[in-house]
Structure 1
């Protein structure tokens, strides 16, 4: 399916739409409740929920703009603070605690994309929440995900390592396949451990 760029773009769009469905749906429900609610306290609570859903939607859009999009306006290098803010916004529900160990003020655009998509995958692997440590130095991007339950299923693992059948990839594997493509095109390699005892190490080694 992803042998053509248009097909792969469709996978990325499907993943984005899937992740936006929940906060946008909550916005719609909140507006409907607010329209019928007359109790002042309940109206205030509805407004709070609307604000939370709007913030979640905006944060996810900002993340995917950098992770999937062209990131227009940033040039060839992107401020690493933008990446950190994007990850914090994506995991802003408090379930995932971010440890940031990136000292470089900026990184090449493709390195940022790899870092963000790995953060997406590692964060999703923390099924019950936990800690996500992010490091980048000397051409290496490394993420450490630790929590009560860490799961990275076979489709995502195979997509990351380039061992998946591209014609059978689902939208949920789009981020993993994007990492594989970016790392391969850069002449690097994906590094991946087997989740064990609530720990997953995932990263990429790129030519300096």
Structure 2
């Protein structure tokens, strides 16, 4: 599409890298804080236990986010052109599921083209942003594409996301906060899919379906 916003490859790489750093820096910072507590000369057993628990939980979270980003944004398994959807489910659960949010995964286990798997994981991220108070994210196949539904308390469509998914940011500018939905739309178009978001079934549905033929194109 000629009206899709053009982002230089170096800018795209820099913004995606910035997004990955943003996702990982919080748990890594918590690990550093826990180590600083352990380094203090005076500490009781309760404080030591708290610090060790913080380090343990934060290290697990950092590992989960890195594994997710490796597939969703990186060149995981770059020697091949397909990724196991079972691996995608594993990394998605590691990032999405907690005491407030549950993931229902209904995508059959299979090898799938890499960009489609990356697209699916990015749709899961967007779905999580649509339910800031937690809820359920249901992931399934929809014909030759995907459907990811967020259900929870006061689900919402994040502002400006439709334009970003379509590759047409309202301000003709992309920054670190906008790169992930923009990148999701880029993945969809690369995979020959149209991605959309709408309020459906009491939640927010993100769909990716086969792109409609362009007028005049056989």
**TM-score, normalising length: structure 1:** 0.90
The answer on whether the counterparts of 1:150 and 1:195 sit within 8 Å (CA) in structure 2 is no
Check if 1:117 corresponds to 2:122.
yes
From the superposition, tell whether residues 31 and 202 of structure 1 become closer, same or farther in structure 2 (CA, over 3 Å): same
The answer on whether the counterparts of 1:95 and 1:129 sit within 8 Å (CA) in structure 2 is yes
Aligned to 2:214: none
Offset, 1:107: 1.5
Aligned residues: 206
The answer on whether the counterparts of 2:134 and 2:153 sit within 8 Å (CA) in structure 1 is yes
Aligned to 1:40: 45
Alpha-carbon separation, structure 2, partners of 1:162 and 1:154: 15
Unmatched segments (≥5 aa) in structure 1: none
Check if 1:78 corresponds to 2:83.
yes
Check if 1:203 corresponds to 2:207.
yes
Alignment partner of 2:29 out of 25, 31, 37 = 25
Q: Which has the higher helix share?
A: 1
The answer on whether the counterparts of 1:188 and 1:205 sit within 8 Å (CA) in structure 2 is yes
What pairs with 1:38-117 in structure 2 (closer than 5 Å)? Answer: 38-72=43-77, 75-117=80-122
Aligned to 1:5: 9
What pairs with 1:124-143 in structure 2 (closer than 5 Å)? Answer: 124-143=129-148
The answer on whether the counterparts of 1:104 and 1:137 sit within 8 Å (CA) in structure 2 is no
Between structure 1 and structure 2, the one with the greater Rg is 2
**Tell me, what secondary structure is at the counterpart of 1:119?**
helix
Alpha-carbon separation, structure 2, partners of 1:196 and 1:142: 12
Offset, 1:95: 1.9
Q: What RMSD, in angstroms, separates the aligned Cα atoms of the two structures?
A: 2.1
